[in-house]
Copies of this chain bind each other. A is one copy, B any other.
Amino acid sequence: MLSRPRKIGVFDSGVGGLTVYKELLELLPDESFLYLGDTARVPYGIRSPETICKYSLQNCLFLLEKGAELIVVACNTATASALPYLQSELKVPVLGVIEPGVRTALATTRSKRVGVIATETTIRSGVYAEALKARDANLVCVSQATSLFVPLVEEGVMSEAILFPIFDHYLKIFARENVDTLILGCTHYPILKPHLQCYLGDGIALVDSARATAETVKDYLAGFSEKKPILVKETPLLFVTDAPERISRIAEKILGGRRLRIEKIEV
C-alpha cells in the first residue's frame, strides 16, 4: 500500500503550470512542493507525442530524485500525450490536469454542448473529446486549437486591442455552436480568463482546470488515514532548465509577489 506522499512534484513545459502551482499553494498551504519548468524545451504544444513522453519522463525522474512522492503533470499537452506512459513507468502516483477539468465541465454544462480550447497537440490528441464522451455519449464537444495564446501569455500581452481580434479568429465557433461551457485546456489560459469572459459574455461558463486539479490533489491526499508529516516550511523552490531571470519575472506576476527560490538545472 502506498504511504501518504510527503513531497509533491509539479512540472510543466514552462510557466503555464504556475497557475496550477498557485492553486495548490492556496488550497494546500501546509504541503511541500517542488516545481520544475522545462523552459529549455518550452513549448511542448508544437512537439510530437514521442518527444513529449521523453521530456516528461526526464522531468519526473528529476523530481523523484529531489524527493517527490506524488507527481502533478501541470501541463495539458504533457497530460494528453504522456500521462498513461508516465503512470506505467513510475512507481509514484501521477495526476494530470485533464480529468479534473472534464469532471468540472460535466458538472457545469446544462446544454450538454461543451467547448475546449488548447494547444495544437492537445486538440489533435482528441483526449478531451474522448474523456467527455466516455462519460456522456450524448454530449457535443467543440474543439479549437488556439496556438497564439501561449505566446501571448508568455509575452505578457493583455491589451484587448490585440487580444480581441485574435479571439475573433479562434473563438467565433463557440457562439455559433451554442456551447454553454468552455474548458481552458492549457495551464497558460487562466491568465487570459478575465479577458476571455469579457469577450465571450456571461452565457459561456469558463472551466479553469488549474483550480479543478488542485481540488483533485486535495481529495487524493484526504484519502490517506496517515496525518500530514511535519516538515520544515521552506520558501517554494522553482527549478527551471533555462533562462531563470525571465521566469522569475513571469512567476512573480502569476504567483502574486510570493517569495520564491529559483534554481537552474539540467535534466
**A residues adjacent to B (C-beta < 8 A):** 39-42, 46-48, 51, 147-148, 150-152, 154-155, 157, 159, 161-162, 165-166, 168-169, 242-243, 246
Docked CA distance A169–B241 (Å): 30
Chain B positions within 8 Å of A161 at CB level:
165, 168-169
Docked CA distance A39–B43 (Å): 11
Determine which residue in A42, A165, A246 has the highest number of CB atoms from chain B within 10 A of its CB, and name it: A165
- Nearest-neighbor residue (CB-CB) of A149 within chain B: B151
The quantity of this chain's copies bound in the complex is: 2
Q: Given A151-B147, A159-B169, are A242 and B40 neighbors across the interface (CB < 8 Å)? A: no
Chain B positions within 8 Å of A166 at CB level:
162
Q: A48-B243, A161-B165, A161-B168 are in contact. List 11 more A-B contacts (CB 8 A).
A: A40-B51, A42-B46, A46-B154, A46-B246, A47-B242, A47-B243, A48-B242, A147-B151, A161-B169, A162-B165, A162-B166
Chain B positions within 8 Å of A41 at CB level:
40-41
Cβ 8 A contact of A242, one of B51, B151, B246: B51
